[in-house]
Amino acid sequence: MSLSLQSAARELFAENLLHEIITPHMWTMNAASVENNEVPFTAITYDTRTVTPGSLLVCKGNFNPKYLEQANKLGMAAYVATNDYSAYTDAPGLIVSDDKKALSILAQAYYDHPERQLTLIGITGTKGKTTTAYYTHAIINALSGNTTALFSSVDNCVDGMHYVESDLTTPESLDAVRMMREAVNNGMKYLVMEVSSQAYKVNRVYDFHFDVAAFLNISPDHISPIEHPSFENYLWCKRQIIRNADMLVLGERSDHEQLLLEDAELNRVPVSTFALADSPAQSDIADVTCAPTNMEHTAFDYFVDGERLGSLTLAMEGDFNYANAAAALAIAHDIGMDVSDPRALASLADVRISGRMEEMHDSRSNTLAIVDYAHNFASVNALLDFVEQRYGAEHPHITLITGSAGNKAYDRREGIVKAAQDRVQKLILTAEDTDTEPIEQICSEMANNVTNEDLDVQTILDRAEAVKHAVDEARAADGGLSILLLIGKGDEQWIKDRNIHTPYEGDSQIIRRLFA
């Protein structure tokens, strides 16, 4: 790990990012003319609070130069920024055209390019990224002797075995590269990571190249002033993974499939496919295919190139999860794993992810609760398809407990209601994560999207109280099956209310306590 002012300038110049080097006394392109230009930086950071003597600070985003006063006191050696801050510091500044691209390039150089020592697997799509990442991690770990790291929206794992809760779907580039270095030092050979549309929009994965990329599916989501201005922009950002990959795994019959195939052809990226078939008779509709073995869809046969691997029953139910498992097998197959090895299918059987398709039965009534992270039209629709397929014959009374995120993804509010209003009997609107938007306003907007006059709609702002109310109503019912769908929060034990993380027991924990 050796990065100096001179080598940093060289890296940035090679990427056509460097404007010039500025000190209080001169502007130059010659790093050798700057004092201490070959002294290695002791650290690299984008947070002024973590500056240590000899650090390189990358001033990213809407940076306030007043924070340089603290960085100066802490011993900052140099800074990288899109603006000249020589009025605020005597430290030399590397002025660049894009601070986020610069951060990624310099992080890779500082940590000696750990991404080149790993087989990188990137997974994108509107729904299923996390589950597919966990399934892929399980398969490759089983076949490689626990040498697979994982970056996901739920957990990060840098040693193949131990998991730490994550903050972002795709980490900031510096954090990702630092964890990659940890993974390499721990003997990891593979890395499976979720790649969000935002990661490409804000250059968190700039200059990352994937050995295999998976594009699971696409539908409108994350459209708002602070995310993507349009579906076109959302899809465009997701499509960038294709040009940054050696191979592509694509969901058969995905929306905009032809456009994605054109991307692959233009960038000379070979494509393999996965699919969910209606029956084993369609075993060859994709390179990796899964098909239900019974009417209840409790087990699926898996096929690679038309050859049957075996049958699988997953711990997390739902056809969409079996499709995610097919995607994971296709990924493992493309990186050269022998997925016909019985350990491949066996590794998937017991995979569980907190807050995703967790089914719990009440000990005191005929009530089933399902906790899931469904949070948009496509995922809510898929969840209700599962309920109808598995429990429709019992004509259950279905209650959906949901909210929606604040200040972003505004289309979700209508999408959730549209997917559910004709398929559930009751809708309870409640708290979910907000930015600065009041919970009351979000719930009111969702209620205004209801057009089914027969739907029972209730707003209970306190999420824990909303869950308890739904359980109490189910227990007071006439004995028929009641199904409670708690969506959007998964197993998270906090609610972000007006930018403050407030403690929350968690959907799963509340249900377990009430059902005990």
- pLDDT value at position 16? 98
Domain of residue 506, residue span: 358-515
- pLDDT value at position 168? 73
Q: Is residue 353 part of a domain?
A: no
Final residue belonging to a domain, choices 110, 125, 141: 110
Final residue belonging to a domain, choices 92, 110, 128: 110
**Judgement on whether residues 313 and 381 belong to the same structural domain of the protein:** no
Report d(CA 383, CA 398) in Å as an integer: 12
**Judgement on whether residues 314 and 401 belong to the same structural domain of the protein:** no
Tell which wins on pLDDT, 498 or 452.
452
- pLDDT value at position 123? 98
Report d(CA 41, CA 244) in Å as an integer: 30
**Judgement on whether residues 242 and 332 belong to the same structural domain of the protein:** yes
**Judgement on whether residues 420 and 484 belong to the same structural domain of the protein:** yes
Alpha carbon distances (Å) from 405 to 322, 435, 479, 499:
28, 8, 34, 12
Report the C-alpha dihedral over residues 250, 256, 257, 259, rounded to 10 degrees: -110
CATH number at residue 119: 3.40.1190.10
Is a pLDDT exceeding 70 seen at residue 237?
yes
**Judgement on whether residues 269 and 398 belong to the same structural domain of the protein:** no
In degrees rounded to 5, what are phi and psi of residue 186? Answer: -85, 5
| Per-residue pLDDT tens digits for 139-185 | 999 999 999 999 999 999 999 999 998 877 789 999 999 999 999 99
Report d(CA 471, CA 244) in Å as an integer: 48
- pLDDT value at position 353? 93
- pLDDT value at position 1? 64
**Judgement on whether residues 332 and 406 belong to the same structural domain of the protein:** no
What is the reported pTM? 0.93
- Band of residue 53 on the pLDDT scale cut at 50, 70, 90: very high
| Per-residue pLDDT tens digits for 383-401 | 999 999 999 999 999 999 9
| Per-residue pLDDT tens digits for 4-39 | 999 999 999 999 999 999 998 899 999 999 999 999
| Per-residue pLDDT tens digits for 78-130 | 999 999 999 999 999 999 999 999 999 999 999 999 999 999 999 999 999 99
Q: Is residue 36 part of a domain?
A: yes
Q: Is residue 344 within 8 Å of 139, Cβ to Cβ? A: yes
Q: Is residue 199 part of a domain?
A: yes
**Number of structural domains found in the chain:** 3
Percent with pLDDT over 90 in the chain = 91
Q: Is 112 left (phi over 0), alpha (psi -120 to 50) or beta?
A: left
Reported as half-sphere exposure (CB side, CA atoms, 13 A), residue 410 has a value of 11
**Judgement on whether residues 170 and 302 belong to the same structural domain of the protein:** yes
**Judgement on whether residues 424 and 446 belong to the same structural domain of the protein:** yes
**Judgement on whether residues 340 and 214 belong to the same structural domain of the protein:** yes
**Judgement on whether residues 106 and 125 belong to the same structural domain of the protein:** no
Q: Is residue 300 part of a domain?
A: yes
Q: Is residue 375 part of a domain?
A: yes
> Residue with structure tokens 């924990």?
509
CATH number at residue 38: 3.40.1390.10
Final residue belonging to a domain, choices 79, 110, 141: 110
Q: Is residue 355 within 8 Å of 371, Cβ to Cβ? A: yes
CATH number at residue 489: 3.90.190.20
Local structure of 486: helix, strand or coil:
strand
**Judgement on whether residues 323 and 289 belong to the same structural domain of the protein:** yes
Q: Is residue 50 part of a domain?
A: yes
Mean of the pLDDT values across residues 257-266?
A: 98
**Judgement on whether residues 388 and 287 belong to the same structural domain of the protein:** no
Report d(CA 276, CA 278) in Å as an integer: 7
The mean pLDDT value of the chain amounts to: 96
- pLDDT value at position 446? 98
Q: Is residue 223 within 8 Å of 411, Cβ to Cβ? A: yes
